[in-house]
Amino acid sequence: MRDTLRSQRFRQAREDQWRTLDRLLDRAERGSVSNLTDAQLLSIPVLYRATLSSLSVARATSLDRNLTAYLEALCTRAYFFVYGPRTTLLERIGGFFVTDWPRTAQRLWRETLISFALMLMGAAIAYVLTLHDPGWYSAFIPANLAGGRTPEATTAALRVVLYSQDNKGWLAPFAAFLFTHNAQIAILAFALGFAFCLPTGVLMTTNGCALGAIFALYVSHGLGFQMGGWLLIHGVTELWAVTLSGAAGFRIGWRFAFPGEAQRLTAVAEAGREGAMLMFGVIVMLSIAGLLEGLGRQLITSDWARYAIAGFSAVAWGVYLYAPRPGARREGAQ
């Protein structure tokens, strides 16, 4: 009997605050936040703290269980209103494309340059070696990826690959295969970066070697210009994506090896969040590259049109990712 009276007095003294908070949360949860006045919005955190204090007292004094459950539910709702995110899913997606992804790419500009330099170095080495000795070709291009494009192929056969439209029905599955292949390279370059950057560096270099070897093959048959258009129509986007994945891997590996003043796990976790943000964008780029690779470059057979699309892609990605944005900072590897 005494506990019941004590619970009733406790409720009577504070119930008005709870009900006020409950009503305000009801309006906010129904999407009517804009209808709340400034005073009402400011009162919610105050009422939340008062209700939280009431819940603490109710638990400590073993008051009515139903009252404790009600206060727990009310405090939970108020917590998510006060401290929860204020954005919708569409706003978060928009924020990712407008600010989060480009800013992350700008912060990792040094790692991106290193990744690109390694890929370019691999391409140059393989190009020179293959051009002078076609026997090197098989060392850089696996047989399952060559697709008949070997030093033994005739010029006519190699030209057919660049312009053939006979197998349009297979273009979509081919695009899906190439997207999967390139996505695997990108994910491995990112995931293996923690091993002091070494696997990521190897992947970037070998990917460049494959590029240089196949380009040398076509140059040796007098098809260098044509091959450039066929490759760059999708390659600008694809290679940019792979380069960014390498940058994400390098950031993790560098922070793992040299955490600076921060604890190693903290430094790696921070680098991992940056890398994951970048990788979401990489997947978007690889999806676009897959469509261009499996569809655009076969349906578009004009060399100049291919180069025009490649040039537009380079300018568009460069402006989108690296144009200055308010609040963006360039940070080197730490």
Comparing 45-54, 55-64, 307-316, the range with the smallest average pLDDT is 55-64
Q: How far is CA 253 from the centre of its chain?
A: 18
Check pLDDT > 70 for residue 15.
Answer: yes
Q: Please report which confidence band the pLDDT of residue 300 belongs to, taking 50, 70 and 90 as the band edges.
A: confident
Q: Tell me the pLDDT tens digit for each residue of 140-174.
A: 987 767 767 889 899 998 888 888 765 554 455 55
Residue indicated by tokens 């380079």: 314
Nearest to 100 by CA among 288, 277, 279, 270: 277
Give CA separation, 285 vs 10, 228, 238, 244, in Å: 60, 20, 7, 10
